[in-house]
């Protein structure tokens, strides 16, 4: 069941924040509103963690403070993104019903005192939460300032996988619906292995901690179940809201590094507008490219339509081992990169930096040091620029290349016993995306099996779990003239994590024109050399070509002499395969070669700031906008003509983009 979509309509690009006024005394609120107005804030999320404030005791509601906050925001013309307040249960609830508390895989409970301490399958939690949602929706459902509903908060951020008895029951119910019979389940999970055959449904458990590695098919289904369970919860809240309000409903996704538990491809259709939270992760090799990837994936979830950046940070976060401050200008570059890649909203966690609580060292729009700060001045500058981009809202990003991404493959790749613990799914995706990004190619991120007819180049990194039907979409598209690059470990298992026999890459084998006989991973830190002089790491394969031509072989390592990069003519197209983890420069060269063959070019020719420049085009019905983000310190120039929206200056032929700057050119008729 999916909800009936309502469209999110905001004037221009939304500029906003989470606002948690309950952390402050009322004398601060007037100043907050005045400063929001100064900064150009026009969309504010409230009541996200409001439960214990608006229902301080079971069934006793007190909306006085929220009424006042909403009144103040409305009077200032600020639109409201209204939280349902269910993100974090109050202490009275978990004290009365401790069985609501989630259970970790080792059987230990997670207690009150942090946030999100609830089991996604708990009927007791759901009853209490829906009663609250009803009270909130009844009160504010037709309030003129409410522009959007914000269900819970980052569903599954901490509590996605719960292993308690209630979850176990719900898991069994889900499995029964999926398989119908125990025989079918036993076959799907391969329970003949290690004497795991089930003869009663009640014998089945969530994949709790075991002595040895767990059944990987069971773990895979538990991931699917857990994602579905939270989506079911989202739907339950949405149904209550719908009884009182016709405003659009969403929740904030976490398309960001390391969060893997929700299969957002299956959630997206339920959102009236896709909203994403993104935080730079200083632990990544290239967090700038990861930001671009997350933005492109958010747009993919939105089917190409604009989406909202619901949270990001003005500066450091507080939850990484080392929390990096943003460099001067980085706030602007990060924010406008999201806009370049399809965001029609730029919002932050949070408005005013907390003085207390776990997030007191998290940056905010208004820092502890107040308004006489560089950070505040950058926030105000950004607000002014966002306002000038009103005409960009609603336009769509232009891309002729796609990258296939799958949460199911992520889960299947990460199972406990595998060829190399050093090979992770997201690393492969980031490496592929990083090569496209460095080559300046704009990509759409799509689900396996998605229609590829809009694209000329498709990259498929490490798509470990692959259904025959999904493979057929890809190989048919290649046969019709497409150029695809598939990388190692793809097509290894089917939907049930059962190995595709007869040579790895399974249902892609024929189109790729190779047979992979054996995996031969290499230790992290070791470098492989290929016959074309490029280097690679982590992985090699012992394969033989059937019909493919060898573009490069392994010159050393455990697969010496075997093909490393191959190209197979398939119908009117070309199926390329990389059997190793190419070093970034080699990956980029390969992508550039393929993009050239596919006639896929950067959005506009550019010189200078090599690798540090992002150039992306958003296109409307009668005009287009060229976004140029210069992450480097050297100046760059980009071919463009029209009017630059940040400076208001005309651009005739070439836009100069100083180091660290962003330029957005409204283009004169680009065909
Ligand atoms: C998000 C969350 C916010 C805040 C933020 C800090 O996960 O939705 O409430 O905690 O992270 O980075």
How does residue 671 score in pLDDT terms, banded at 50, 70 and 90?
low
How does residue 212 score in pLDDT terms, banded at 50, 70 and 90?
very high
Same domain, 208 and 190: yes
**pLDDT for residue 670 is more than 60:** no
CA of 121 to the centre of ligand 1 (A): 23
pLDDT at 455: 98
CA of 158 to the centre of ligand 1 (A): 11
Nearest to 358 by CA among 49, 119, 56, 57: 49
Average pLDDT over residues 327-354: 98
pLDDT at 667: 97
Structural domains in the chain (count):
3
Q: Which of 376-385, 526-535, 606-615 has the lowest mean pLDDT?
A: 606-615
pLDDT at 191: 98
Same domain, 613 and 584: no
Same domain, 554 and 614: no
Average pLDDT over residues 265-283: 97
| Domain-embedded: residue 68 | yes
pLDDT at 5: 66
CA of 257 to the centre of ligand 1 (A): 14
Average pLDDT, the chain: 97
Q: How far is CA 578 from CA 455, 559, 581, in A?
A: 20, 13, 8
CA of 102 to the centre of ligand 1 (A): 20
Who has greater pLDDT, 612 or 347? 347
**What does the alpha-carbon distance between residue 648 and residue 595 come to, in Å, rounded to a whole number?**
34
User: For a pLDDT cut of 90, what percent of the chain falls above it?
Assistant: 97
Nearest to 559 by CA among 525, 528, 534: 528
Same domain, 551 and 614: no
| Domain-embedded: residue 573 | yes
Q: Which of 18, 50, 277, 316 to mutate to test the pocket of ligand 1 (most atoms within 8 A of CB)?
A: 277
**pLDDT for residue 370 is more than 90:** yes
Q: Which of 154, 258, 318, 334 to mutate to test the pocket of ligand 1 (most atoms within 8 A of CB)?
A: 154
CA of 18 to the centre of ligand 1 (A): 9
> Which residues line the pocket of ligand 1, CB cutoff 6 A?
153-154, 157, 277, 279, 311, 317, 349, 359, 362
Same domain, 191 and 262: yes
CA of 348 to the centre of ligand 1 (A): 9
Q: What is the pLDDT of residues 277-334, one digit of tens each?
A: 999 999 999 999 999 999 999 999 999 999 999 999 999 999 999 999 999 999 999 9
| Domain-embedded: residue 622 | yes
| Residue 270 backbone phi and psi in degrees, to 5 | -85, -10
397, 422, 437 - which closes a domain: 397
Same domain, 82 and 207: yes
For the question of residue 311 being annotated catalytic, the response is yes
Average pLDDT over residues 520-530: 97
| Domain-embedded: residue 387 | yes
Quote the domain boundaries for residue 663.
606-667
352, 381, 397 - which closes a domain: 397
Contact 277, 156 (CB under 8 A): no
Nearest to 123 by CA among 83, 82, 166: 166
| Domain-embedded: residue 6 | no
Write the residue with the smallest CA distance to atom 3 of ligand 1: 349
| Share of the chain residues as helix, strand and coil, in percent rounded to the nearest 5 | 35, 20, 45
Write the residue with the smallest CA distance to atom 9 of ligand 1: 349
The residues facing 465 across adjacent strands are 493
Q: Which DSSP symbol is given to 542? A: E
| Domain-embedded: residue 7 | no
Q: How far is CA 403 from CA 42, 83, 428, 476, 589, in A?
A: 34, 33, 12, 16, 17
pLDDT at 85: 98
Q: What is the CATH number of the domain that holds 628?
A: 2.60.40.1180
The size of the chain, in residues, is: 671
| Domain-embedded: residue 9 | no
Same domain, 144 and 243: yes
Same domain, 383 and 416: no
Write the residue with the smallest CA distance to atom 11 of ligand 1: 349
**pLDDT for residue 29 is more than 50:** yes
Q: What is the pLDDT of residues 538-555, one digit of tens each?
A: 999 999 999 999 999 999
pLDDT at 610: 73
CA of 263 to the centre of ligand 1 (A): 20
What atom in ligand 1 is closest to the CA of residue 313?
12
pLDDT at 2: 44
Nearest to 514 by CA among 559, 564, 573: 564
Q: What is the pLDDT of residues 593-610, one digit of tens each?
A: 999 999 999 999 999 887
Write the residue with the smallest CA distance to atom 5 of ligand 1: 349
| Domain-embedded: residue 343 | yes
**pLDDT for residue 249 is more than 70:** yes
Same domain, 531 and 633: no
575, 597, 619 - which closes a domain: 597
Say what the pTM is: 0.97
For the CA atoms of the chain, what is the radius of gyration?
Answer: 26
Q: What is the pLDDT of residues 36-72, one digit of tens each?
A: 999 999 999 999 999 999 999 999 999 999 999 999 9
Same domain, 525 and 646: no
Same domain, 489 and 583: yes
Write the residue with the smallest CA distance to atom 4 of ligand 1: 349
Among the listed residues 154, 290, 378, 408, the single catalytic one is 154
Q: What is the CATH number of the domain that holds 441?
A: 3.40.50.880
For the question of residue 239 being annotated catalytic, the response is no
Among the listed residues 260, 311, 510, 644, the single catalytic one is 311
Nearest to 582 by CA among 612, 552, 613, 548: 552
**pLDDT for residue 1 is more than 80:** no
Q: What is the pLDDT of residues 464-486, one digit of tens each?
A: 999 999 999 999 999 999 999 99
Q: Which of 19, 152, 280, 311 to mutate to test the pocket of ligand 1 (most atoms within 8 A of CB)?
A: 311
């Amino acid at each position: 069941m999916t909800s009936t979509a309502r469209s999110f309509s905001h004037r221009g690009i939304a500029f906003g924040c989470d606002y948690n006024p309950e952390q402050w005394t009322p004398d601060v609120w007037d100043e907050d509103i005045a400063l929001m107005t100064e900064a150009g804030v026009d969309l504010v999320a409230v009541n996200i963690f409001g439960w214990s404030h608006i229902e301080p005791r079971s069934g006793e509601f007190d909306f006085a403070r929220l009424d006042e906050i909403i009144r103040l925001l409305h009077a200032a013309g600020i639109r409201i993104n209204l939280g349902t307040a269910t993100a974090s249960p109050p202490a009275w609830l978990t004290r009365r019903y401790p069985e609501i508390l989630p259970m970790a895989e080792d059987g230990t409970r997670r207690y009150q005192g942090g946030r999100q301490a609830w089991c996604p399958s708990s009927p007791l939690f759901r009853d209490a939460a829906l009663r609250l949602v009803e009270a909130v929706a009844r009160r504010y459902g037709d309030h003129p300032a409410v522009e959007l509903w914000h269900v819970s908060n980052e569903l599954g951020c901490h509590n996605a996988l719960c292993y308690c008895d209630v979850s176990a029951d719900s898991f069994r119910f889900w499995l029964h619906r999926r398989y119908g019979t125990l025989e079918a389940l036993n076959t799907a999970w391969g329970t003949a292995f290690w004497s795991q055959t089930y003869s009663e449904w009640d014998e089945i458990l969530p994949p709790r901690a075991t002595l040895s590695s767990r059944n990987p098919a069971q773990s895979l289904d538990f991931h699917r179940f857990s994602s579905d369970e939270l989506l079911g919860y989202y739907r339950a809240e949405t149904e209550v809201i719908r009884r009182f309000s016709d405003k659009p409903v969403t929740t904030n996704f976490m398309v960001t590094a390391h969060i893997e538990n929700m299969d957002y491809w299956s959630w997206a259709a339920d959102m009236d507008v896709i909203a994403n939270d993104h935080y730079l992760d200083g632990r990544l090799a290239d967090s700038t490219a990861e930001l671009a990837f997350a933005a492109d994936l958010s747009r993919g979830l939105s089917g190409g339509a604009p989406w909202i950046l619901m949270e990001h940070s003005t500066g450091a976060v507080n939850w990484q081992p080392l929390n990096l401050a943003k460099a001067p200008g980085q706030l602007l570059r990060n924010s406008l990169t999201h806009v370049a890649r399809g965001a029609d909203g730029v919002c932050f966690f949070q408005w005013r930096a907390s003085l207390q609580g776990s997030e007191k060292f998290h940056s905010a729009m208004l820092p502890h040091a107040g308004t006489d700060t560089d950070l505040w001045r950058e926030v105000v500058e950004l607000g002014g620029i966002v306002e000038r981009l009103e005409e960009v809202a609603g336009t769509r990003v232009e891309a002729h290349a796609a990258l296939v991404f799958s949460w199911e493959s992520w889960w299947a790749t990460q199972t406990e016993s595998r060829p190399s613990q050093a090979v992770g799914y997201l690393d492969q995706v980031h490496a592929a995306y990083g090569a496209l990004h460095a080559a300046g190619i704009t990509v759409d991120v799509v689900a396996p099996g998605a229609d590829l007819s809009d694209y000329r180049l498709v990259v498929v990194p490490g798509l470990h779990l692959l259904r025959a039907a999904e493979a057929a979409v890809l190989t048919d598209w290649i046969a019709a003239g497409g150029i695809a690059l598939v990388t190692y470990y793809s097509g290894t298992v089917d939907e049930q994590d059962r190995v595709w026999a007869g040579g790895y890459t399974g249902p892609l084998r024929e189109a790729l024109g190779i047979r992979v006989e054996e995996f031969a991973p290499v230790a992290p830190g070791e470098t492989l050399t290929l016959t074309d002089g490029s280097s690679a790491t982590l992985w090699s394969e012992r394969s033989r070509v059937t019909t493919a031509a060898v573009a490069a072989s392994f010159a050393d390592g455990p697969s010496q002499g075997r093909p490393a990069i191959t190209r197979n003519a398939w119908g009117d197209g070309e199926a390329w395969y990389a059997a190793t983890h190419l070093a970034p420069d080699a990956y980029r060269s390969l992508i550039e070669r393929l993009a050239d063959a596919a006639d896929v070019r950067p959005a506009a020719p550019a010189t200078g700031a090599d690798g540090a420049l992002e150039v992306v085009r958003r296109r409307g019905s009668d005009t287009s906008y060229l976004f140029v983000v210069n992450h480097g310190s050297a100046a760059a120039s980009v071919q463009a003509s029209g009017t630059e929206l940040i400076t208001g200056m005309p651009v005739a032929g070439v836009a100069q983009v100083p180091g660290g700057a962003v330029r957005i050119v409204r283009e004169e008729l680009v065909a």
